[in-house]
Amino acid sequence: MSWISIVPPIIVFILGFLTKRICFSLFTGLVIAAIIATGGDPIGTGFLVFEGIWNNTELQQVFSVATFTEASNFFIVTFVLILGIIIEIIRQSHAANAFVDFVESSIKSKRSAETGTIILSHCLSIDDYLSSLTVGSVMRPLTDRFRIPRVKLAFLTDSMAAPLSMITPISSWAAAIIGFLTENGVHRTLQSGTLLMANPYSVYLNILPYIFYSISLIVSVWFIVRLRLSFSLMNDHEEIAEQTGNLAGGKPTGDHHSEMEPASEHSATIIDFLIPIGTLMLSTLTFLLYLGESRLFGGSNTLVEALQNSPISLVLFSSAMTTLGITVTYFLIKRRFSPMEIFRVSYQGIRLMFPVAAILVLSWTMGELLREQLKTGEWLASLFAGSVPVMLIPLILFWNAALISLALGSSWATTAILLPIALPMVMAMMDVTAPAHIEQLPIVFPVFGAILSGAVCGDHISLISETTIMATTSAMCDHMDHVKTQLVYSAPVILGSSLAFLASGLMLGANSTLSLVVCITISLVTTLSILTMLHLYWKYKKSPLPI
């Protein structure tokens, strides 16, 4: 246990920043971690890497009836890949366009058009890729009609994608976080490598209120739209759009580069949109209750107990398979796709999500090496012990996660780097031995919330983030203009979240509910106050009061 244990995540950070290739960076970091763990033995390194990846796919458990239901990693990866297929079916069937047609009659103003954009983001919150790719392209014709600048559409699309997906209990983000927690020592039952005895899904649900950045950003977007707040470059674009009709701040809109799917010979209906989305939501809830042995299905657990004890990875896998089967059958019966087209769409959907699945498996494997072999978290804890108060850990992790994610452009990779380090570090700093219980680590929820908040924060304002690029592309606006406006509007949220994480550490011994209420209040009041002051300042700057 020495400084060398921190080398692999640093290598991942540097390579990710330089190459922008997250899978390559993670694999390199994994190999370096294996080299350190084996003392430089090339054969041992290769074996450790291969064995780690193979074990973390859990394919060996799939082929055994006795262990099939325990293949949680396999279920999560499969859920992500199937979600990619469902996303492609929704996109290529133009089902999301039907949502716009459905609400168009009630949209009479800029405010209602922007509100409709936010509502569509909520409807598509099962995945940030789905939201980023779909919302801008679907709502663009409608927002263009009301002279809403493209940079505003990109801001609304990007601000609601990953932050909303992260706190949606039925989403690709939920599956990923649960997988990260499970692979980093959070287990419902005592087993090898258990650090924290708790249900991973229950832990995830308890983390949600501490993801201050996502909560504050979502509230602030609604606040900005409903109160018509505007300042800085965004305000300039809005004025140009209103006065000249140019929606790109005076630049060419680039509409001839549109990559939207050609119009279908069959018009989509709202049912086409509701079938896949509604089935996924309903089947997930059903499997949560059924596999959690709820009384509604003849079990002995209450509703809350069923949700807490349900095997979430198996639930997501089952609901994804059910949704895929119903969705494909529905569109085949309607003759929206032929069987060959379904195979083509499935391939494109898997290809869309394959990098995400690879990131998950590589992250789990490297996290296991950092935790079990290199003891990175314990070394960092010994470094911080006596020099950094435990109360500052949430704030420090929030800033670190934001910087790493900003450089890497990947919130998933950032989470993969920091989660294996955080729990062992906190346990060592608080002198708690494994397996620990939640009551022994009251700081664990703010710590996990800080990592996830920082990860989505850095990704949200990163030049190279995939969701940022997707939002820019779907809204068809200038990429740098989007990044600049995104940063300006995010700055108050970052400050508010920082103060909230500082408060969460300072109130560590207080009542958890009171502490949470105070922290969220601090974050929201700070964020919304600064946004209001910036709006008023910009308004005064544009038209100063007469002396």
Report, as an integer, the average pLDDT of 34-52.
Answer: 88
Report the alpha-carbon distance of residue 64 to residue 196 in Å, rounded: 28
Q: Which of 319, 345, 288 is nearest to 126 (CA)?
A: 319
Q: Could you read off the pLDDT of 49-69 as tens digits, one per residue? A: 898 888 888 888 877 777 787
pLDDT at 261 over 50: no
Q: In what order do the strands lie in the sheet with 196-197?
A: 186-187, 196-197, 436-437
* E strand or H helix at 197: strand 196-197
| Residue 459: partners with Cβ closer than 8 Å, 6 or more residues away | 162, 405, 406, 409, 410, 411, 414, 465, 467, 468
Report the alpha-carbon distance of residue 529 to residue 517 in Å, rounded: 18
| 0.85 surpassed by pTM | no
- What integer pLDDT is reported at residue 72 of this predicted model? 77
- What integer pLDDT is reported at residue 260 of this predicted model? 40
Cis peptide bond prior to 435, omega within 30° of 0: yes
Residue 386 backbone zone (phi > 0: left; psi -120 to 50: alpha; other: beta) = left
63: its two tokens:
């082929």
pLDDT at 256 over 50: no
Q: Could you read off the pLDDT of 386-419 as tens digits, one per residue? A: 577 888 889 999 998 888 887 666 787 788 778 8
Q: 3-class DSSP state for residue 65?
A: coil
Q: Is the dihedral of CA 34, 39, 43, 47 positive or negative?
A: negative
- What integer pLDDT is reported at residue 76 of this predicted model? 78
pLDDT at 542 over 80: no
Q: Could you read off the pLDDT of 75-91 as tens digits, one per residue? A: 878 887 888 888 788 87
Report phi then psi at 187, rounded to 5: -130, 145
